[in-house]
Amino acid sequence: MINKLFTLLLLIWVCLTAGAFYYFSQPKLQLFDPNSRFQNIMHSDNYVSLLHKQLALNARPTVIHVTDSNCSCNVLTQAHIVDLDKQLAALNFQIHAVDIKELKSLIPAAPAVLIFSKMRDLLYAGPYSSGYLCNKDNSLVDLALQQANYAIENNLKLEPFIVSQGQGCFCYPEK
């Protein structure tokens, strides 16, 4: 009898804990671009030109981390950023961080990342990953870098990998 009661209480506790986690984590799961603003901007002919002008890129491969100093979501991406920086620094990428306020007309939310080739071609624009934890396990950036490496190795035209519909923890710039 006591064993059944203990099992029942344990089951109730597990259900309540899972429910509480779901309840408190749901408000943080948001779309990267809820108003499709990024989707519309990125298809304009001058989007990459505007990024070049705003960021003053040179002829080296570059990664730009777009952050928001007031955003609690930055903490979730920190380990992913460290891993990405190590990987890209080994490939001679310049690494910069920019506050989203500088790019608010070009990027809908932070944290985000922009990656450019040495020819200043946009390789990736969007969130680091999709999902609540923004970690390497569900990385969108790694997928884009694999695509870029494949294109370079096989002498194919590089198409930018632009993600506007990722879902995770994001903060939006003030207007």
pLDDT digits (tens, 9 = 90+) for 103-132: 888 889 999 999 888 778 888 889 998 887
Q: What CA–CA distance (Å, rounded) separates 33 from 31? A: 5
Alpha-carbon span 102 to 114, nearest angstrom: 14
3-class DSSP string for 11-80: HHHHHHHHHHHHHHHHHHCEECCCCCHHHHHHCCCCHHHHHHHHHCCCCCCEEEEEECCCCCCHHHHHHH
What pLDDT, on the 0 to 100 scale, is given for residue 158?
A: 75
Measure the CA–CA gap between 31 and 106, rounded to whole angstroms: 16
**pTM of the predicted model over 0.85:** no
Q: How is the chain split into domains, by residue range?
A: 1-29, 32-168
User: Is 87 strand, coil or helix?
Assistant: helix
CA 49 to chain centre: 21
What average pLDDT is seen over the chain? Answer: 82
For 140, the 3-state DSSP assignment is coil
**pLDDT value of position 28:** 67
pLDDT digits (tens, 9 = 90+) for 4-37: 887 888 888 988 887 767 666 555 678 888 888 7
In this prediction, residue 43 carries a pLDDT of: 67
| Residue % of the chain over a pLDDT of 90 | 10
Is the pLDDT at 66 greater than 70, yes or no? yes
Q: Which residues pair with 124 in a beta bridge?
A: 115, 161
| Tens-place pLDDT, residues 141-151 | 888 888 777 77
Paired residues of 122 in beta bridges = 116
Read off the pLDDT of each residue in 88-114 and give the average, rounded to a whole number. Answer: 89
Q: Say whether domain 32-168 belongs to CATH 2.60.120.620.
A: no
